[in-house]
Structure 1
Amino acid sequence: MSELTSLTIAEAREKLRAREITATELTDAYLSAIEAANPAFNAYVSVTPEKARAMAKASDERLAAGKAGALEGIPLGIKDLFATEGDHTQACSHILDGFKPRYESTVSQNLWNDGAVQLGKLNMDEFAMGSSNETSYYGPVVNPWRATGSDEKLVPGGSSGGSAAAVAAHLCAGATATDTGGSIRQPAAFTGTVGIKPTYGRCSRWGIAAFASSLDQAGPIARDVRDCAIMLKSMASTDPKDTTSVDLPVPDYEASLGQSVKGMKIGIPKEYRVDGMPAEVETLWQQGIAWLKDAGAEIVDISLPHTKYALPAYYIVAPAEASSNLARYDGVRYGLRVDGRDIADMYEKTRAAGFGKEVKRRIMIGTYVLSAGYYDAYYIRAQKVRTLIKRDFEQAFHAGVDAILTPATPSSAFAIGDKELAADPVKMYLNDIFTVTVNMAGLPGLSVPAGLDSKGLPLGLQLIGKPFEEETLFNTAHVIEKAAGKLTAPRWW
């Protein structure tokens, strides 16, 4: 059975259409893999075998009738932030205990419309707030990768840690994820998978629990660039239920792969050479530059001068929006309720019991920066910085740059329970140093595996593109993938 779960989406699609395998066989292989390995990873917080088998059976009928959709019979995992009708949808938070929506998110509905099969709901940092998947109410996710000669458990990155770990451990063919400040790209880099945060507005946010509405964007995590392109084609759409989704045709991203990058201008921002960055990350970056140069791309040095302000500005804007968005979780209509003397006491007790430490921290930061005396000093100033960050990118693109190449993360995966990071939240926030600028500017960003560090752990490179030019990123990432080769975690489970 395990050889079925090692098929990429593209390979499984061919075998399903050629009737060499059935969707039911493929789904059963994944359900067996989840049953055997999920206790080791804690990637799934809920598995939906009955629904999966019913969807696979329907896929087999459509395949037999020659009516296959773009993802017909492909088993996927869904991040617990996406509403799935009648199933566990709790943003991995205690405050949404028992919540099962009566509606489906637009992104997951698009996938089902194209014939995909739902395996279950994936673990994540609570309300997508975290860079290591350690803030989940359901406990941390374990990275399938281990340092050479060590059995220490490593984080898969966050907040989409369950998505990245499940893809890397072959517990789903691909997974949905979301990215507010790096939550697709950083876990992809830590697990040797490919993840893209599309342009803001490319995918509908309807039916996805909101963290920071002006930054959140859904995207796929998959085993290679082609699979990522196939998934995004199905996930993206215009949606009248989300006024921030953009009314633009969705290209055939897969068709962009394999085109020449000769003459393309790739920008290298000097501001991404940060203090304390490991030499291995710099070496990998130079290797990526060399691969693109060999493929005919022109490398140009660029400056993004406001990069240094991105992280502090992000950690004002995102918590401010979170403070507003999470006000709706009060114990009145759904989820957890802790009774109190009166309604105000009930609110306080419910929110105190329901939210984890990191979510409480961000709500308090957000409420503070929005308060009367500090709104102008913090929130308005952060929004002005955001405009300057966006302008930096616009000037680079206006000067003829087609895409920008940077490291995806400042290091490889670190240990679960790392004492230094646990003691200092700012050090944890620094994991997002290369990724938050992309969300602040609303641009597409993709992480592609580019090699292993000295500990045998994966490192990724990030490509940043112009708005709605995801094809350029897929094509350029494909060049890096061909040069670097695909990464697979050595099996220990």
Structure 2
Amino acid sequence: MNDLTDLTIADARDALRRGDTTAAELTDAHLEAVETAGALNAFVHRTPEIAREQARAADARLKGGDTPAMCGIPIGVKDLFCTRGVPSQAGSRILEGFRPEYESTVTTRLFEAGSVMLGKLNMDEFAMGSSNETSVYGDAVNPWRATGSDAPLTPGGSSGGSASAVAARLCLGALGTDTGGSIRQPAAFTGTVGIKPTYGRVSRWGIVAFASSLDQAGPMTRTVRDAAIMLGAMAGHDPKDSTSADVAVPDFEAMLTGDIRGQVIGIPGEYRMEGMPAEIDTLWQQGIEMLRDAGAETRDISLPHTKYALPAYYVIAPAEASSNLARYDGVRFGHRAKLAPGDGITEMYEKTRAEGFGPEVQRRVMVGTYVLSAGFYDAYYNRARQVRALIKRDFDEAFAAGVDAILTPATPSAAFPLGAMADADPIRMYLNDVFTVTVNLAGLPGVAVPAGLDDDGLPLGLQLIGRPWEEGALLNVARCLEERAGFVARPEKWW
């Protein structure tokens, strides 16, 4: 066989079922790849013993004819997912030493399906960031490099470690979470596929919360088919999560017919942002042509409240974060500051949170506390919620008018150098989410698909937005776009 790390999830599944390889061999190949990829800083807690034990169990199942699609498949898990007995720090110092006594619902489902966990993946602290530069573990690094340059690039954020690991062939798939684009933006920056499902499709139980009404877990893979396979294993109703929807999970892979003839693809005029790079606009136009060639109709649509999405998001998300992060106080788990004689509980809270939270998390907690305060609640938080309802209504009206999916750019640029925005106004960094936050505010499914390279040889992605609960139909359009784009480029190994 070719290098086992070059297989897709679908190829590996078929090879395992045929007996061409074993889960143990597949796992060892990926553990070796992880071991030699320290320069990427993608894996931050390695779990080789757990992986080999899970691989042995998977091989026993395969031998007995019990062959779920994810059985024996090596994956990486974002550090935001609680994993029993394994450090789960959310990329933050304040959770140093935290080893949960329980397993998140998503990882439980994947392990029950026979998946193999290679380790935990780097991420922006508490998922707050678009470049993986706020992590207590240090920056994750994109395996891609611009032509003729050795400058390290961001893999995007907050699921930067997940994107980097999948693109560098360190795992066959990875878990990410998406609050404002944290699956789709890193996927676009690394030439991989990432889907944020409909809010409520995948359980949030056991995932460290950032903004509870926006967070959603999803798979990051190298192909659309792999995303469909992995999502099928993750999705489903969970009574432990009050926001989990009791909606049947179809066979997403079986829905990948590639036939989109007669479907209507909406092209929102509001996404043609002022100052958008020409190469992003060109790629978008090429995507439109690809879907037309596949037999779809493209239709110009209007989503008039899009321009208010970023401001609304950066009120709602920090507000929810300030509430969720109040539990990190040094009392029950994680980091506790050393106290001086005479310090009381207030000083313990203050010192613990000042030491435990990084600057970006502190900034967002302060913004969130401010917009929720008595004098500003109506002026900021309630107004942002009203804008959110209008954004959702824009999408509802487009879908009611017969639009099946919406095509937009995934990011306003290709991956940028690490440190390029370190001293900039934070709003410059927040603008990376300009095409993705609307999807979270409206609770819709969205998928990023690699569609081309920029002039520096770096990957660019397109985003497809679908109707609620219709991830299968959305992935089918994504599969069609993937086939026509024919993206086969991969990063040259330098690490």
| TM > 0.5 | yes
8 Å Cα contact 1:2-1:29 kept in structure 2: no
Q: CA deviation at 1:491?
A: 2.1
Q: Distance in 2 between matches of 1:491 and 1:473?
A: 32
Q: Who is 1:344 aligned against?
A: 346
Residue number in structure 1 paired with 2:30: 30
The yes-or-no answer on 1:468 pairing with 2:469 is: yes
Aligned partner of residue 423 in structure 2, secondary structure:
helix
Specify the alignment match of 2:493 in structure 1. 491
* Distance in 2 separating the partners of 1:468 and 1:404: 15
Give 1:254's aligned residue.
253
Q: How far off is 1:194 after superposition?
A: 0.1
Displacement of 1:64 after TM fit? 0.8
Give the share of equivalent positions with the same residue, in percent: 69
Instruction: Give 1:24-423 correspondences, 5 Å limit.
Output: 24-37=24-37, 39-340=38-339, 341-419=343-421, 422-423=423-424
Letter of the structure 1 residue corresponding to residue 28 of structure 2: D
Pairing 1:10–2:32 present: no
- Tell me by how many angstroms 1:31 deviates: 0.4
Measure how far apart 1:90 and its partner are: 0.4
- Name the SS of the counterpart of 2:290 in structure 1: helix
How far the C-alpha of 1:423 sits from its partner, in A, is 1.9
Extract structure 1 runs of 4+ deviating beyond 6 A. Answer: none
Partner of 1:480: 481
Structure 1 residue matching 2:295: 3-state secondary structure: coil
| Cα shift readout 1:396-415 (whole Å, capped 9, x = no counterpart) | 00100000000000000000
- The whole-number CA distance in structure 2 between the counterparts of 1:239 and 1:462 is 28
Secondary structure of the structure 2 residue equivalent to 1:449: strand
The Cα shift of 1:483 comes to: 1.1
Q: Which residue of 2 aligns with 1:427?
A: 428
State the Cα distance separating 1:252 from its structure 2 match.
Answer: 0.6
Distance between the aligned counterparts of 1:276 and 1:390, measured in 2?
26
Give the letter aligned to residue 217 of structure 1: Q
Aligned to 1:449: 450
Cα separation, 2, equivalents of 1:191 and 1:369: 35
Deviation of residue 70 (structure 1)? 2.3
CA-to-aligned-CA distance 1:355-380 (integer Å, 9 cap, x gap): 00000000000000000000000000
SS state of the match for residue 36, structure 2?
A: helix
User: Is residue 450–residue 458 contact of structure 1 (8 Å, CA) maintained in 2?
Assistant: yes
- CA distance in 1 between counterparts of 2:97 and 2:186 reads 27
TM-score after normalising by structure 2: 0.98
Tell me, yes or no, if the aligned pair for 2:197 and 2:444 is still in contact at 8 Å.
Answer: yes
- Per-residue deviation, 1:2: 7.5
Gaps of 5+ in 1: none
User: Contact 2:195–2:220 (CA<8 Å) still a contact in 1?
Assistant: yes
CA drift at 1:287: 0.3
Offset of residue 11 of structure 1: 0.3
- What amino acid sits opposite 2:8 in the alignment? T
CA distance in 1, matches of 2:67, 2:120: 24
Q: Residues 392 and 442 of structure 2 are in contact (CA less than 8 Å); yes or no, is this contact kept in structure 1?
A: yes
Distance 2:333 2:389 in 1: 38
CA distance in 2 between partners of 1:259 and 1:248 (Å): 24
